[in-house]
Amino acid sequence: MAEEELKDNGQIELLLKLKNGDKSVFTHFYKMYSGQMYVNILKMVKDGQIAEELVQELFTKIWHKRELIHNAIDFKAYLYKTGQNLVYDFFRKLQRNQKMQERFRSVVTEYYSHIEEALHLKQSEELLEKALNKLSAQQRKVYQLCKIEGYTYKEAAEEMGISVHTVKEYLTKASFLVKAYLIDHLDISMSILLFLLLR
pLDDT, one tens digit per residue, over 50-80 is 889 999 999 999 998 888 887 667 888 888 8
Q: Give pLDDT tens digits for 128-148.
A: 777 888 889 999 999 889 988
The length of the chain, given as a count of residues = 199
Q: What is the pLDDT of residue 105?
A: 73
Give 31-57 pLDDT, tens digit per residue: 999 998 888 888 777 778 888 999 999
Across the range 149-174, mean pLDDT stands at: 92
Per-residue confidence (pLDDT) for residue 170, from 0 to 100: 92
Angstrom distance (rounded) from CA 65 to CA 125: 28
